[in-house]
Amino acid sequence: MLIMNRPRRNRQTDAIRSMVREAHLLPEHLIAPLFVIEGKNQRVPIKSMPGHSRLSIDQLILEARELDALGVKCVSLFPAIDDKLKNDKATEAYNPDGLNSRAIRAVKEALPHMMVMGDIALDPYSSDGHDGLVDPKNGEVLNDPTLDVLAKQAICEARAGVDIIGPSDMMDGRVGHIRRALDQEGFERTLIMSYSAKYASAFYGPFREALDSAPKKGDKKTYQMDPANGSEALREAALDEAEGADILMVKPGLPYLDIIWRLKQEFTLPIAAYNVSGEYAMVKAAAQNGWIDNDKVILETLTCFRRAGADVILTYFAKEAAGLLTK
Ligand code: PBG
């Protein structure tokens, strides 16, 4: 039978499929988020994230070495801070001898070529559990007074040696404020990967368990974005671009592939996607039940991020995926 167009012709063998494939996934596209704790020889499992633990710095180095050997070029560090060190001003966020600074220095010393990304937000350090300072009178998360604390945190991380600063706090004007502060201190080469479109999402649950960083009161809806909004992501991204961001990020990932796509069409900056803790937990839960194929779902998921326009993917699957890709 004559059918002029037979799309199946391009799918009939591995050879032709790989020749016409549009999106490719490589270990260097991945950033591995890692959780850090005090102590020695500690690997404290995170219940809602099977396969992930909070790592003491010596274990963090071992993990970074494994990632390095698999071709992953960047780790993003999240310290779990002792409750005793948290206060309403989040002063531990810019302690040059604090856990975060020591972890950054240790990775850069052990593996100078491995990029380290540091998170900028106050929640792991704040007794209120919010990303910004809280007005004790009414519980409001204060924008402008927070900016100086974020800038101090960024300079502290830059001094410890981070290559990439990742503001995840969603305060207005923070990218410009941090950029100016970094340049004034001579850190003009430090990148900013801005969490541009960060949504007020229920998919962050396991992360907040890992760091014990959930807000003590209220939610994050006055600063993180409404999941119902798309155009607003373009506005946020445009501001971050104008304020000097080097890479624009969308977070969470899978339910927000349309946002990744829209940013990729609109901007020339590289686009990153954060495949967050809840997305990881869902795959692991189903895989442990034997309901889905763990390895295939991981590679499909990450490839779809690339197809949607993500140049870079932050994912808790980084080590597993890189292992599968280099097999
Ligand atoms: C904190 C921060 C969060 C995540 C990254 N940085 C949590 C939050 O905003 O409450 C979430 C990451 C994840 O769920 O994997 N500013």
Give residue 131's pLDDT band: very low, low, confident or very high (50, 70, 90).
Answer: very high
Give residue 25's pLDDT band: very low, low, confident or very high (50, 70, 90).
Answer: very high
Q: Is the pLDDT of residue 212 over 90?
A: no
Mean pLDDT over all residues of the chain? 97
- Report yes or no: 27 and 1 within 8 Å, Cβ to Cβ: no
Give residue 46's pLDDT band: very low, low, confident or very high (50, 70, 90).
Answer: very high
Atom of ligand 1 nearest to the CA of 121: 16
Residues annotated as part of the active site: 198, 251
pLDDT at 327: 80
Q: What is the pLDDT of residues 284-322, one digit of tens each?
A: 999 999 999 999 999 999 999 999 999 999 999 999 999
pLDDT at 27: 98
Q: From the CA of 315, how far away is ligand 1's center (Å)?
A: 12
Q: From the CA of 213, how far away is ligand 1's center (Å)?
A: 9
Q: Which residue has the tokens 């991380």?
A: 157
Q: What is the pLDDT of residues 185-204, one digit of tens each?
A: 999 999 999 999 999 999 99
Q: What is the pLDDT of residues 154-189, one digit of tens each?
A: 999 999 999 999 999 999 999 999 999 999 999 999
Q: Is the pLDDT of residue 277 over 90?
A: yes
Q: What is the pLDDT of residues 60-77, one digit of tens each?
A: 999 999 999 999 999 999
Give me 6's structure tokens: 């037979």
What percent of the chain has pLDDT above 70?
Answer: 100
Q: From the CA of 188, how far away is ligand 1's center (Å)?
A: 26
The least confident of 115-119, 210-214, 246-250 is: 210-214
- Report yes or no: 181 and 208 within 8 Å, Cβ to Cβ: no
User: How far is 238 from 248, CA to CA, in rounded Å?
Assistant: 9
**Cβ of residue 276 lying under 6 Å from some atom of ligand 1:** yes
Instruction: Name the phi and psi angles at 34, rounded to 5.
Output: -135, 145
Q: Is the pLDDT of residue 93 over 90?
A: yes
pLDDT at 287: 98
**Cβ of residue 205 lying under 6 Å from some atom of ligand 1:** no
DSSP 264: H
- Report yes or no: 45 and 35 within 8 Å, Cβ to Cβ: no
Closest CA to 161 of 121, 190, 195: 190
pLDDT at 213: 85
Between helix 231-242 and helix 257-266 the angle, nearest 10°, is: 50
Q: Which residue has the tokens 């950054």?
A: 104
- Report yes or no: 210 and 80 within 8 Å, Cβ to Cβ: yes
Closest CA to 25 of 320, 276, 257: 320
Nearest CA to ligand 1 atom 2: 168
- Coil, strand, or helix at residue 34? strand
Atom of ligand 1 nearest to the CA of 205: 14
Strands (DSSP E) found in the chain? 30-37, 43-45, 53-56, 74-79, 115-120, 133-134, 141-142, 164-167, 191-198, 247-251, 271-275, 312-315
- Report yes or no: 144 and 98 within 8 Å, Cβ to Cβ: no
**HEC-encoded secondary structure of 146-169:** HHHHHHHHHHHHHHHCCCEEEECC
Give me 304's structure tokens: 């779809």
Global confidence as pTM: 0.97
